[in-house]
A and B are shown apart, each in its own frame.
Chain A
Amino acid sequence: MTTTTWEDLVTSALLGTDRRPLPLPAGADAAGPGGGGVVDAPVALLDAAAVQTVRRRAGLLPAPAAPLPRPAPRDERPPLPEAAARRLVQLLADRPSASGGGRRGAAPDLTELLPQWLAAAQAYGYRVPASALPALLDAARARTDLRPQALALGGPRALWLATFNPEWKFALRGASGGAALPAPDDAEGVRRLWEEGLFAERVALLAAVRAHDPAVALDLLASTWATERAEDRLMFLDSLRTGLSADDEEFLERALPDRSRNVRSTAAELLSALPGSAFAARMAARAASCVGLDHTGRQVTITVEAPHECDAEMQRDGVVPQPPSGRGQRSWWLGQLVEAAPLGLWRERLGGRAPGEIVALPVADDWREELHAAWCRAAVRQRDAAWSRALLGPASAPPASGPGASSSAALLSTLPHEERAEWVAAFIAAHGLSEAFQLLGVCAVPWSGALGRAVVDALDIAREAGSYPWSFSGVMGLAERCLDPREANRLEVLTAASDEGEDTAPGAGGYWAEAFQRLVATLRLRAAMHAELSPPET
């Protein structure tokens, strides 16, 4: 055997045999495949390297193993039914197309159905197949709106997996659950996790303890409050929104003079949702001094005297002194005061009138819009259905006289679901679909029968009027996701291409048929999705 080492071969090859001849042992020449003659130095080197290469490969040894990862926590949820698991793979394989808008064809848009599928699967409490988790995390990475549900459904193994891939870091930031929390009454365990846990674990812990015993949770939060970072303080404070009660007032009051402006304004916002709080009383006094009644004219009128300054006390209560550009200082201050004052104040202040009567009163000096907008924000913040109803007005009233689409949607969200659906159905029947998009967004899915019929009728009217379906693509998309799947059969008649009238836009009939085909196909698909998810009967 040759005594030439692999390193000798590499060095010689790197520099070239002309410059660095291979230290071949004597007699090696004769063994070359040239047969008798002297073997070229390069050929001898390649011969030897070939032998060494095959020897090195044949003699490969395993590497020492790195420390094994800690196993993923067990997930005791039942597995998805097989058909549903297949559906998930299909939904995850369909990525949103780069070309948004335009003509969308007759086939359903699968990505739009993913949120619904995730919510339904989560409601049943299923565990998704482990092999689908990477695609699920990728989907959640691309779409923040999917994250809460995707992570809840992914469960402990998704979080475990996310610790290994920097692209899935988001899962560790925002996730709750997953990591095993100590029992809420395990004081020792709670204290340790609170002091040593990751941020996401601590948020989850706080929520769990708060659900169990709110006082303990506040003590826990207060114990480290001063040393938390500003963005963490904001998140912790925000988590108090759930189960907010008068017991939280004291803590919130103490948070009012916080160093961070966002923390201050969140504390003020939460306090204003507690009509019995001292904060609310202070705001009520301020607001009441600005708004009053004038009985001098023929008709009773609301008068407004906006504040002249934003003093230190007001600022301490979260009033922001500097208005956004384009707005007057005094009206900006007024809006904040009225918004944060308890709505119960106004009955007493404005002559014992009910909300409906108050809203109907004329307002002096062009303050009506400003005042009503502030009441809208207050009604939403305080979840006051009576005031919301009054501010919304009758659904048949022209939209221009109302509070505007986005305020209306927010007001609707304080009403019971049946009432929302009724109001929106009446609105669409009166005014069509052009301003209905945001309103439909706050209605419960699937839509009630009356609401669904109103939308379909309005679409049919739009078709007969000869417009193109993509003018309604927003509502059409909502209808695909929100109509009751049982409507599919009734809609079938609309999928036929209709004759085109004279004033119809060219080709519109075909496009409408296509749009309705997609609607029906999507409804059928949703029905199939839900059927696949329902547990097998035993």
Chain B
Amino acid sequence: MAGPTVGGMTEQGVRWTAEQVLALAPDAASRKAGGRLGVAGPWSGTGCSDAGAVWGLCKGSGSTPYRTVVDVTGPAYTCSCPSRKFPCKHALGLLLLWAADAAAVPAGASAPDWAEQWLESRGARAEARKRKDDAGPADPEAARRRAAARSARVTAGAEELEQRLADLVRGGLAAAEQAGYGLWEETARRMVDAQAPGLAGRVRELGALPGSGPGWPVRLLEESALTHLLDRAWLGVDRLPEPLAATVRTRVGLPSSAEGPAVRDRWLVLAQYDTSDGKLTTRRTWLHGRDTGRTALLLSFGVAGRAPEPTLAVGVVVDAELLRHPGAGQLRAELGERFAAPVPGDAPPPGGTVGDALTAYGLALRDDPWLDSWPVTLRDVVPVPAAEGWQLADADGGAALPVTGSAPARPGLWRLAAVSGGAPVTVFGECGHRGFTPLAAWSPDAPGTVPLT
């Protein structure tokens, strides 16, 4: 892998920005520790190759320096330090130094043996994985039987949930407020037992709604009705057209796999953000194909202390293949083969008005009525402080979308306001029935993508 490069890939030498590096950090403490190591002082024997490998020796508290190697095309990391964080502070510090100071991490050197070994074994593993993927599942008959058994359990779960929802509506939502969260939690556990994590997640959300402030009965009725719709859809999934059936299976929580066909494009990384339920971190990465004009979502998961992979820095363009997951209105995809190291991107996706954004969400509901939001790009909008929070308004001051108050948007909202300065900007985000969550912005005054997450 760390051998000669594809001809003409001169962009491979492009180094990342500090923000892009810091976005890799698994937590705030790592960001800070990495930032402190991002200076020449503790480092020696540093270098980087055209193939995207960066290496160096970092002086720690012991007598032997730590050996740190990063493959930025992954990115993938290895370090001889005992840290369980991933990437560790040494890898982050090395990348920061590489990003900030071309002289401190000179290019074009050949990797020392200890780095070369890891880079080679990495290449070999990737080959082996590819061969295994091509071989297909071991026993198709056994796999079919397992799938049938799981379907039956999910069906039992869906029927039980239907009963529960009917009881709820028969007795009245007002009574549900008094019943508290315990009953919902019990139902959610039953759905986990039924191997329907999608239903379990919905039930937990239903349980949180009675305490969610004014207007909760409306929200509880809406979500109960959509859960009911999902139950009914699952119970009749055999009679649904295949794309919709695939969507229903995904919503219920059955695993799906990317089936392709592979779409090669230059994918601009629009946004990346993590949400965590304490045990599991979910990372969402939005991509936009420069040539195909398609938008895709990469979903990945990491257990505590580990950043989910892949890590793609916001604002770069990756020449790669994507494989789509099946299902109507589904944007999820897997990253396939990459053909070059990321290069900085420039222009935002083409966008529309506030009205266009709501229309796009409405149309997307035709394919997947359970969608909470839809990715859209707003052109020439101004962030406006209003009585109820912020809005994004068309530059002519006519129509506006409320900005959601959800977690990933909050610190980014100030960055969005700062970048705009009261003037029109282009904003990418998720538009849905709760409002608009801004995720990235572009200003005519400043080059590049400003991440808002």
Contact = CB atoms under 8 A, between A and B. Distances in A.
Contacts of B346: none
Given A66-B393, A89-B18, A106-B59, A131 B419 contact: yes
B237 interface: no
A66 B386 contact: yes
Interface in B398-453: 398-402, 411, 414-415, 417-419, 421-423, 432-433, 443, 445-446, 450
A124 to B, nearest CB: 19
B100 interface: yes
Nearest to B421: A72
B391 interface: yes
Interface string B160-174: 001001111111111
Interface in B369-392: 369, 382, 384-387, 391
A65 B419 contact: no
A54 B329 CA distance: 15
Nearest to A95: B32
B422 to A, nearest CB: 4
Contacts of A131: 415, 418-419, 446, 450
Given A53-B226, A90-B38, 13 more contacts: A10-B217, A16-B174, A33-B232, A43-B162, A43-B166, A60-B433, A62-B399, A68-B382, A86-B18, A93-B32, A107-B36, A131-B418, A524-B40
B166 A42 contact: yes
B36 A94 contact: yes
A360 interface: no
B178 to A, nearest CB: 13
Interface string B1-36: 000000000000000011100100000000110011
Interface stretch (B139-147, B179-187, B241-249, B354-362): B354-362
B170 A16 contact: yes
Contacts of B340: none
A67 B399 contact: no
Residue from A42, A61, A64, A129 whose CB has the most chain B CB atoms within 10 Å: A42
Contacts of A518: 41
Contact of B418 (A33, A94, A107, A161): A161
Interface stretch (A44-52, A263-271, A317-325, A376-384): A44-52
A407 B39 CA distance: 38
Contacts of B414: 134, 161, 165
Nearest to B229: A50
B218 interface: yes
Contacts of A58: 361-363, 365-366
B443 A130 contact: yes
B319 interface: no
Return the 5 tightest CB-CB contacts between A and B, nearest first.
A521-B41, A16-B172, A62-B399, A49-B225, A71-B422
B96 interface: yes
Contact of B101 (A72, A105, A528): A528
Dominant secondary structure of chain A at its interface with chain B: helix
Interface string A422-460: 000000000000000000000000000000000000000
A83 interface: yes
B203 to A, nearest CB: 15
Contacts of A20: 172
21 contacts: A10-B218, A17-B170, A46-B225, A46-B229, A49-B221, A57-B361, A61-B358, A62-B398, A63-B402, A65-B400, A66-B391, A72-B423, A83-B100, A86-B19, A90-B38, A90-B96, A108-B36, A108-B39, A522-B41, A525-B40, A528-B40
Contacts of A60: 358, 361-362, 433
Nearest to A86: B18
A14 interface: yes
A26 interface: no
Nearest to B365: A58
Nearest to A168: B414
Contacts of B445: 130
A166 to B, nearest CB: 11
Contacts of A61: 358
B377 to A, nearest CB: 16
A79 B229 CA distance: 54
A70 B418 CA distance: 13
Given A65-B393, A65-B397, A130-B443, A16 B32 contact: no
Contacts of A42: 165-170
B36 A105 contact: yes
Contact of B172 (A15, A59, A65, A68): A15
Contacts of A54: 226, 229, 365, 369
B71 interface: no
B389 to A, nearest CB: 10
Interface in B126-174: 162, 165-174
B120 interface: no
A107 B41 contact: yes
Given A49-B222, A50-B229, A129 B358 contact: no
B288 interface: no
Contacts of A357: none
A157 B418 contact: yes
Given A107-B41, A157-B418, A59 B362 contact: yes
A133 interface: yes
A346 interface: no
B400 A49 contact: no
Contacts of B217: 10, 13-14
B191 interface: no
Contacts of B386: 66
Contact of B42 (A49, A69, A97, A107): A107
A110 B36 contact: yes
A40 interface: yes
A178 B450 CA distance: 25
Contacts of B172: 13-16, 18-20
A129 B206 CA distance: 43
Contacts of A134: 411, 414-415, 418
Contact of B39 (A40, A86, A524): A524
A10 B446 CA distance: 48
A46 B398 contact: no
A95 B222 CA distance: 43
Contacts of A521: 39-42
Interface string B226-260: 10110010001000000000000000000000000
Select the residue from B99, B366, B419 with max chain A CB neighbours within 10 A: B419
A107 B37 contact: yes
A130 B41 contact: no
A330 interface: no
Contacts of A17: 169-170
Nearest to B412: A134
Interface string B341-355: 000000000000011
B248 to A, nearest CB: 14
Interface in B202-219: 217-218
A83 B394 CA distance: 34
Nearest to A518: B41
B169 A13 contact: yes
Contacts of B38: 90
A153 to B, nearest CB: 14
B384 A68 contact: yes
B49 interface: no
B41 A524 contact: yes
Contacts of A50: 225-226, 228-229, 369
A68 B397 contact: yes
B222 A68 contact: no
Contacts of A133: 418
Interface in A67-120: 67-72, 79, 83, 86-87, 89-90, 93-95, 97, 105-110
Given A130-B419, A524-B40, A68 B170 contact: no
B397 A67 contact: yes
